[in-house]
Amino acid sequence: MVNKIEHIGIAVKNMDDANVLFEKMLGVPSYKMEAVESEGVLTSFFQTGNNKIELLVATNPESPIAKFLEKKGEGIHHIAFDVDDIEAEIVRLKNEGFVLINEVPKKGADNKLVVFLHPKNTNGVLVELCQEIK
Ligand SMILES: C[C@@H](C(=O)O)C(=O)SCCNC(=O)CCNC(=O)[C@H](O)C(C)(C)COP(=O)(O)OP(=O)(O)OC[C@H]1O[C@@H](n2cnc3c(N)ncnc32)[C@H](O)[C@@H]1OP(=O)(O)O
Ligand SMILES: [Co+2]
């Protein structure tokens, strides 16, 4: 079962500029910046009530964020849902016919295990599932 929206990922070109803008918009500063080298991203997190905004910049040209910025430009990149049991969700979603980009959970940002569903099979929305690492 899916709990809440954990975060919304937003692809940006310049992290310094975006951090200043989102701090102004939300009235709180970024609480954490974290690079995830396996994804080719630098992330910045803002707490927005029970959810978060994750700003993402590419850290190499092969990064999914670099490709996204090239094709679509800045904007919402993915929606992440919090789950209690990511392995159970992987089995459930595979049985429902969803295409997972990675079937083995990988280490994401902010102490999470993550998997992604392919946007081709989810009405064009890249979906991330994340489970807190305890
Ligand atoms: C750190 C972490 C965390 O929160 O913990 C993160 O979020 S890391 C966030 C960064 N990591 C990820 O995104 C990992 C999962 N993403 C991926 O593996 C990739 O980006 C794919 C989604 C498989 C797309 O890669 P691919 O090489 O196929 O790129 P592509 O540019 O050829 O795109 C293929 C088709 O998917 C579409 N497409 C690409 N990215 C999309 C997105 N974010 N939302 C919706 N559609 C998207 C393209 O427009 C294209 O559609 P057309 O064919 O119609 O032109
Ligand atoms: Co994310």
Mean pLDDT of 5-27: 98
Give the CA diameter of the chain.
44
CB of 78 shorter than 6 A to ligand 1: yes
54: β partners = 9, 45
Nearest atom (ligand 1) to Cα of 116: 15
Which residue from 73, 43, 37, 76 is spatially nearest to 57, judged by alpha carbons? Answer: 43
CB of 6 shorter than 6 A to ligand 1: no
Question: Given this model, what pLDDT does residue 64 score?
Answer: 98
How many C-beta neighbours within 10 Å does residue 93 have? 17
Task: State the amino acid at position 47 in one-letter form.
Answer: Q
Residue 16 C-alpha to ligand 1 middle, in angstroms?
Answer: 23
Question: Given this model, what pLDDT does residue 94 score?
Answer: 96
**What is the residue whose two structure tokens read 């989810």?**
122
- Quick check: helix, strand or coil at residue 2? strand
CB of 54 shorter than 6 A to ligand 1: yes
pLDDT of 1 strictly over 90: no
Question: Given this model, what pLDDT does residue 113 score?
Answer: 98
Strand order in the sheet with 41-48: 32-36, 41-48, 51-58, 2-11, 75-83, 127-132, 112-117, 106-107
Residue 2 C-alpha to ligand 1 middle, in angstroms?
Answer: 21
Nearest atom (ligand 1) to Cα of 9: 7
Cα–Cα distance for residue pair 92/31, rounded to 1 Å: 33
Cα–Cα distance for residue pair 92/43, rounded to 1 Å: 29
Nearest atom (ligand 1) to Cα of 128: 7
Q: What is the pLDDT of residues 86-132, one digit of tens each?
A: 999 999 999 999 999 999 999 999 999 999 999 999 999 999 999 99
CB of 82 shorter than 6 A to ligand 1: no
Mean pLDDT of 6-35: 98
Q: What is the pLDDT of residues 47-82, one digit of tens each?
A: 999 999 999 999 999 999 999 999 999 999 999 999
